[in-house]
Amino acid sequence: MAIIPGSEYLTAGLHVMAQSLLIPVIVGLIVLLMQALLHLGGLLAEQQQRKEHRGAAVKELLDTDLVPGTLEQWERGLLFPAYMTVVRGFTHRQGENQARNRLIADNLLQEEERRLERILAKTDLIARLGPILGLMGTLIPLGPGLAALGQGDLQALAAAIIVAFDTTVAGLAAGGLAYLVSQTRRRWYRSHLEDLELLLEHLLQAGGETVAASKEKTLVSIGRG
């Protein structure tokens, strides 16, 4: 096979760069696997917290009229703390202008959605990077391992294969755990946002505005324009 002059320097440089990535890849896999385990522990703690605050279903709370002390009853009724954070944020900022209250409620809901997206982004990143680093950790040592096989050095080949398999397992484990955490939290957070929307709508209706009235006002203003 003809060799292009100078290509041996390029391939040698590429080989050095590829082999130099092995240690960073292994370190990255260790970090990702530890992060995935931490997120799994956080998921279990969050599940326990949700079980403890399952006493007051949101739909049951919506059947109660808002009177002085209702929010305190909601809190004592084991309403999920994250709900109370948003609800109290709304009650502290609301005023007599119902259109402004609607904007406040929408803004709080969007802020909560962004907060939950930031949480999910962490495990989504691990779920994507884990298998990628695992594949890199598999391929990098196989080159020297095959070269050692050509020279009859089976011990070096065995060591390379062990590293390749270990990095594959670590990458898949980190990605699998992170994917499990992401999917479970995504299901919880979807229900979380739906419940929050119902609670905020309940507070808005108590302030004299319904969804239908809000839409009617919008259509009237558009018609006048």
Query: Which two three-digit tokens encode residue 75?
Result: 């809190």
For the chain, how many structural domains are there in total? 1
The DSSP element (H or E) to which 135 belongs, if any, is helix 98-150
In a domain, 65, yes or no: no
In a domain, 203, yes or no: yes
pTM equals: 0.76
Query: Among candidates 9, 7, 21, 30, which has minimal Cα distance to 139?
Result: 21
Q: What is the pLDDT of residue 216?
A: 47
Q: What is the pLDDT of residue 205?
A: 76
In a domain, 153, yes or no: yes
Query: Which two three-digit tokens encode residue 3?
Result: 């060799």
Query: Among candidates 101, 64, 100, which has minimal Cα distance to 201?
Result: 101
In a domain, 142, yes or no: yes
Q: What is the pLDDT of residue 51?
A: 76
In a domain, 20, yes or no: no
Task: List per-block mean pLDDT (blocks of 10 residues) for the chain, which spans 225 residues.
Answer: 64 83 95 97 88 60 56 57 76 77 86 92 96 94 84 87 94 97 93 83 66 42 41
Exposed/middle/buried for residue 155 (C-beta within 10 Å: 0-12, 13-18, 19+): exposed
The one-character DSSP state at 209 is -
Strands (E), the chain: none
Which residues constitute the domain of residue 85? 71-224
In a domain, 5, yes or no: no
Q: What is the pLDDT of residue 224?
A: 46
Q: What is the pLDDT of residue 161?
A: 92
In a domain, 39, yes or no: no
In a domain, 1, yes or no: no
